[in-house]
Amino acid sequence: MCALSAGELLDVWEAGLAQAPTERALALLAVACPETSREALAALSIGQRDAELLALREQLWGSQMAAVVVCPECRERLELTLNAREMLSSSPRNQPGEIPLSIGEYKVNFRLPNSLDLLAEAGQGANRGSYALVLHHCLLSAQHGEAPLDPDRLPEDVAACVIKAMAEADPLADIQLDLTCPSCEHRWRAVFDVVSFLWTELEVWAWRILSDVHTLAQAYGWSEQDILALSPTRRQFYLEMVGA
């Protein structure tokens, strides 16, 4: 994974303003991993993709991640500290392309969902729920006894077992945080969306760096390229000199 310059990050952020979340995730990884084709990045399972994004986040701003959630019961704001490296430790190093599963008299083969599946659904304007989306794209074959079975005709309880097996095989694809409100003691599970979290951080960073560019350009007449080429330490020094 390459170290990204401030200019490269700003270019990805600017292009991403008109993109959907899946496209933003792939754009970030394409810049950070130039040796890997976009097709190969899109074929990564969702958990593998998000593991790469967490590694990028750690490279950019460190392992510690500050997040805020709101208790659904009393609306209290909770401040959380998450750790990218700890999350990465739960990601399996190798994942099979095809996974067999037996549930009673049913046998299925499936693969893990990837960004191509999400892009295909978005391109078709499909309104299927997440479970139906996953089963539609990722069930490779199914049998009831010895008879072949259309994957779309799996019983609901068998389909639920397949979804559970997918989640267990790709834990970073659906990160669930077990939370307890210190005010009302309400307990709930919250989804941690890696793409959304990283993009929000990138937006905050982009607005801050563009504000710094504006201040220094006004004070010294430097170009954006010159200012972005400065190290963060030197940039901060000049900002303090002009009282920003």
Give pLDDT, residue 228.
Answer: 95
Q: Which residue has the tokens 């399996």?
A: 92
Give pLDDT, residue 244.
Answer: 63
Cβ 224 vs Cβ 1: under 8 Å: no
Cα 36-40-45 angle, rounded to 5 deg: 125
For residue 208, the surrounding DSSP H or E stretch is helix 194-220
Q: 0.85 cut: is pTM over it?
A: yes
Give pLDDT, residue 123.
Answer: 59
Fill in the DSSP letter of residue 44: S
- Could you list the pLDDT tens digit for every one of the 244 residues in the chain? 888 999 999 999 999 999 999 999 999 999 999 999 999 999 999 999 999 999 999 999 999 999 999 999 999 999 999 999 999 998 877 777 899 999 999 999 999 999 999 888 775 555 445 566 677 889 999 999 999 998 888 899 999 999 999 999 999 999 999 999 999 999 999 999 999 999 999 999 999 999 999 999 999 999 999 999 999 999 999 999 998 6
Q: What are the sequence ranges of the domains in the chain?
A: 6-90+192-241, 99-169
